[in-house]
Structure 1
Amino acid sequence: MYQLKQVREMKKLTWIMAALLCVSLWSCSEDENPAGEEQKEDVVISFEGELSEPNSSFLATEGEEDGFYMKTAFSDPQNVVSFTHYFSDWGFGGGFTYTNGTDTATPGYANLSAITGAGKTGSVYLIANASSYTEARITNLQAGTYRFKGAWVTNTTYDYLAIKDGNDGGSGLVAKFEDGDWFMLTAVGYTDSGTEVGSVDFYLADFRDGKSEIVNTWKWFDWSELADAAYITFELSSTDTGDYGMNTPSYFCLDGVTLQEN
């Protein structure tokens, strides 16, 4: 009788252990792949290795005349996205360029450097000037394969010093930020036909509600709400605005622009 009871207890323990193992495996599977969905691959845009000289940036040589500038577009080495690009004889005018600038101390528009002095993961990153004259636009060239996910963002040295010290290299228009001030980047998604699909905001400087933050590291900017957009444009706004528009320099930096498989 004792041996029979012992066998029953062993069978019961074995059943319990098997049940716990099944639950454990099921839970792990659900955590790794919710709802049994296929894992999606990310593609991260990079221009690393595209510049041969230190503290240099991309500047096109051909384009169409557009106001004060020539306008064209360039794509990443994988041809996943394209970027608007405005230029002239005197250099970069607006839209996007890529750079390996490291100068975190010199004020003024001629300094095409991030306040970080480097990219998020390498030396080359994107810098943009977004204004009503020079649209900063990223277009998805492979919409059938990929959708927008997000990017890392930070300030340029130019706008960081203008916000922090009121020094933009000499215009005398900018003011050092005080309580209540802010500087905001807005990403707006559009369909192929130009219909807006949504927008998301990111504060590059925020002095509201007792805060005094000026972004000086790379931070993630989530574009999941704009995932299905055909292209994204970028707008900048600030509390430091005068009779002729925004006084804060209309510059920002991006790195690691990321898209995800459909």
Structure 2
Amino acid sequence: MLFSRYATCIRCCALLIITAVGLPARAEIITFDDLPPGQGTQYSGADVVGSYYYGDSPDGVIVEGTYGPVYESTFTSGGAGFINRVDQTYGSWSGFSYSNVSDIVTPGFENQYAAYTLSDPGSGMGPGVDNYGIAFGYDDIVPNLFDPDAFDPTDIADLFRLPTLSLPTGMAAVGMYVTNTTYAALSMLGGDSFGKTFGGASGDDPDWFKLTAYGIGADGLAMAESVEFYLADYRFDDNSLDYIVDDWTWMDLSALADAKSLHFNLASSDAGDFGMNTPAYFAMDDLQLEAVPEPTSLMFAAVTGLGVVLRRRGLRKKSA
């Protein structure tokens, strides 16, 4: 009888643990729609208008950059922090900005804040304000005359020089939607003063444009895992399969669920003596997160449950 009672207690305890593990995790979606209108306005025709944020918020600090001082600040959406850097010498920016510019037709650098989404031009994912994130920046994966030190994914300093976002405490990345920017897409489609037309004149060149996500864990070290996503891929034997991403497309980040910060690098087959020729931009929206259950909370639930079961059985025995 005593063994049977303990066996029942153990089964109840195990059931509590299974129940706790099976509870749906709290979810969060970073939409950028909670952010105010940007500082700049961009027009490219009567029906194309939008605002964009490019940096210089008042809470930043001056850090040393490649060409001199850089103003580094962070804007926040849904509890996630997005690092933005503005070069004080040239006025250029890198890291993350946000935008709702709807221009899928204007080529070139002047149109660097527009998402390339053909089904719903320049729109973010889902209803609402339709803001979305824009990232700019990269570190060459192969040494060149401009950058003799190739990107090292195990080097924390290299990771933080990339477009970087920090995750809210207790939340893990699930995935996000990404697409090209109009600047990058039109460069790959038709070439420009720096980049080639992907596929070349014959269409047979095995070109590609790749986004890779890296993570830094709670221990402050670079994670061994990374996630690759091709924003363009012309490596197929059948040219009809070649593509340049032109709509919001899911990028699974679950392999980086233990990351406390995410870092994004871009690489292209079109690179020369001075580095990558493809414009180093991508757009993102609806970063999906879920709460990470604390192991101690599961143990507490199990121990508490076991205590309740034993107490109830003790009371029953005394009453008997």
**Alignment TM-score, normalising by the size of structure 2:** 0.64
Partner Cα distance (1:52, 1:35) in 2 = 42
Matched, 1:226 2:256: yes
Structure 1 pair 230–70 and aligned structure 2 pair: CA distance change class (3 A): same
Q: Which amino acid aligns with 2:271?
A: T
Matched, 1:103 2:130: no
1:100–1:113 contact (8 Å) kept in structure 2: yes
Quote the residue 1:60 is aligned against: 56
Q: In the TM superposition, what whole-angstrom CA distance separates every residue of 1:180-231 from its partner, at most 9, and x where no partner exists?
A: 1111100011224222231010000011112220000000000000001111
Partner Cα distance (2:91, 2:103) in 1 = 17
Quote the residue 1:157 is aligned against: 182
| Identical aligned residues as a percent | 34
Matched, 1:175 2:175: no
Task: Name the SS for the 2:110 alignment partner.
Answer: coil
For structure 1, which segment, 183-192 or 89-98, has the greater mean C-alpha deviation from structure 2 after superposition?
Answer: 89-98
Which of the numbers 127, 130, 136 marks the counterpart of 1:129? 136
Give ranges in structure 2 of 5+ residues lacking alignment. 1-17, 39-48, 140-157, 293-320
Matched, 1:148 2:173: yes
Partner Cα distance (1:246, 1:95) in 2 = 17
Give ranges in structure 1 of 5+ residues lacking alignment. 1-32
Give the aligned length: 223
Structure 1 pair 34–181 and aligned structure 2 pair: CA distance change class (3 A): farther
Partner Cα distance (1:71, 1:224) in 2 = 32
1:197–1:226 contact (8 Å) kept in structure 2: no
Q: In the TM superposition, what whole-angstrom CA distance separates every residue of 1:69-127 from its partner, at most 9, and x where no partner exists?
A: 62423243432x21111124665511001111111111222311011211112420000
Quote the residue 2:216 is aligned against: 190
Quote the residue 1:74 is aligned against: 74
1:55–1:102 contact (8 Å) kept in structure 2: yes
2:94–2:137 contact (8 Å) kept in structure 1: yes
Q: In the TM superposition, what whole-angstrom CA distance separates every residue of 1:154-173 from its partner, at most 9, and x where no partner exists?
A: 00000000000003xxxx22
**Structure 1 or 2: more helix by fraction:** 2
Structure 1 pair 49–261 and aligned structure 2 pair: CA distance change class (3 A): closer
Task: Name the SS for the 2:105 alignment partner.
Answer: coil
Quote the residue 1:84 is aligned against: 83
2:29–2:78 contact (8 Å) kept in structure 1: no
2:187–2:279 contact (8 Å) kept in structure 1: yes
Quote the residue 1:115 is aligned against: 116
Q: Which amino acid aligns with 1:135?
A: L
Partner Cα distance (2:136, 2:209) in 1 = 14
**Alignment TM-score, normalising by the size of structure 1:** 0.78
For structure 1, which segment, 180-189 or 33-42, has the greater mean C-alpha deviation from structure 2 after superposition?
Answer: 33-42
1:51–1:57 contact (8 Å) kept in structure 2: no
Q: In the TM superposition, what whole-angstrom CA distance separates every residue of 1:19-69 from its partner, at most 9, and x where no partner exists?
A: xxxxxxxxxxxxxx9997111121001221523365222222443133246
Partner Cα distance (1:159, 1:77) in 2 = 25
Task: Name the SS for the 1:162 alignment partner.
Answer: helix
1:155–1:252 contact (8 Å) kept in structure 2: yes
Q: Which amino acid aligns with 2:178?
A: V
Structure 1 pair 254–91 and aligned structure 2 pair: CA distance change class (3 A): farther
Task: Name the SS for the 1:56 alignment partner.
Answer: strand
Structure 1 pair 207–77 and aligned structure 2 pair: CA distance change class (3 A): closer
